[in-house]
Amino acid sequence: MRKKYLLAPGPTPVPESVLLAMAQPVVHHRTPQFSEVFKETAELLKYVFQTKEDVLILASSGTGAMEGAVVNLFSPGDEVIVINGGKFGERWGKISESYGLKVHWINVEWGRAVDPETVKDVLAKNQNVRGILCQASETSTTVLHPVKELAELTRERDCIIVVDGITAVGVVDIPMDRWGIDVLVSGSQKAFMLPPGLAFISLSEKAWRFCDDARCPKFYFDLKKERKNLARHTTAYTPAVSLITGLREALALIKEEGLENVFARHARLARATREAMKALGLKLLAPENPSPAATGVYVPDGIDGGKFVKYLRDDMGVTLAGGQDHLKGRIFRIAHLGYIDTFDIIIAISAVEMALKRFGHKVELGRGVGTAQEILLEGFET
């Protein structure tokens, strides 16, 4: 017998109580019973997004919310700045160009965070820019971008900041209203502890005004239509009923833990993971601005990262993530977001140690685990 451990940055593990909630008999989505579930869920989402604004629930992956943001906020020919520091920054630009927007690319070395001064300079040289599109946590490179500072650049301009918070919301403190974030999106399969299938998006009052002038074609991702239906505690089109039922339970778990405790847990797990990898002599992908959602690590010279990740998954039962594009075969990523705790991290680190030894790398078994234990023990202090 071999147990399976899911420690990749999405999909993430789902709590038992959430699975049981989703296993309940399906109710019809146009009934008072489901409307009550939907209403409670929408209110709980505001708590996690830290906003007084509506949070719309879409039946799609997070990319659907990204596309919905572009088509509802902008028109063909509009100029936007895209911070391209990984696969998902690149995705913002590809979506924008697909709808005829003019993209000013700011290319950032993978593993590095964008410098707000660079963005400020591009804004100064391009006065017609209508939006800055960025990630909070770039999942592909495990970097945390300075969203607070970027949001300050748009505050006094006819320009909005649109943030992909797919691996940030519910992981790190990213207060939408307090920081002045205009658009914040996320997805169900990350810190929300659900299977894939739901996307979330919230707009500021300023962003809703942008929607009045936007002329990109849209139908399914019509956010004004969704907002009208949200006021009636329903959706414009058929919702993912079981996922929303599970979401209500997952959000209740988050609120019970408390956002400050949620953020502290993620920070502790991330720090333990990073320090363990360094204790093993491994190089971090993002040593300066690491995301608390996942840790990227270079495999040692002479080891094929693809085979390394495959061995962990297929032979050891521990699923981590590999690298993308030019990092394919060169890194692995350990997730520590959502329904992941102290002993999940111990398993991940011990599996990495054992796999390194299996691949012939000189490693002192237990060194990384012991380093992590010293940090993780803080979580049991009262």
What pLDDT does residue 2 have? 87
User: SS3 for 25?
Assistant: coil
DSSP H helical ranges for the chain:
16-22, 32-49, 62-73, 87-98, 116-125, 147-154, 176-179, 205-213, 223-230, 241-257, 259-279, 305-314, 342-358, 367-376
- Distance CA(163)–CA(3), nearest Å, equals 37
- Distance CA(323)–CA(165), nearest Å, equals 20
Kindly indicate the confidence band of residue 381, based on its pLDDT and cuts at 50, 70 and 90: confident
Domains of the chain are 5-10+258-380 (3.90.1150.10), 16-256 (3.40.640.10)
Which structure tokens are listed for 272?
């333990």
Whether residue 382 has pLDDT greater than 80: no
Whether residue 211 has pLDDT greater than 70: yes
- Characterize the bridge pairing of strands 294-298 and 198-203: unpaired
The two most distant CA atoms of the chain are separated, in Å, by 62
Contacts of the segment 227-233: beta carbons below 8 A, 24+ positions apart? 227/54, 227/56, 230/42, 230/54, 230/56, 230/57, 232/35, 233/35, 233/36, 233/38, 233/39, 233/42
User: What does pLDDT average to over the chain?
Assistant: 97
Report the candidate in 258, 248, 337 with the shortest Cα–Cα distance to residue 293: 337
Kindly indicate the confidence band of residue 95, based on its pLDDT and cuts at 50, 70 and 90: very high
- Characterize the bridge pairing of strands 137-138 and 143-144: antiparallel
Mean pLDDT along residues 54-77: 98
Which structure tokens are listed for 89?
């920054």
How confident is the model over 98-132, as pLDDT tens digits? 999 999 999 999 999 999 999 999 999 999 999 99
> Which residue in this structure is represented by tokens 């927007």?
101
- Distance CA(146)–CA(75), nearest Å, equals 27
- Distance CA(277)–CA(42), nearest Å, equals 39
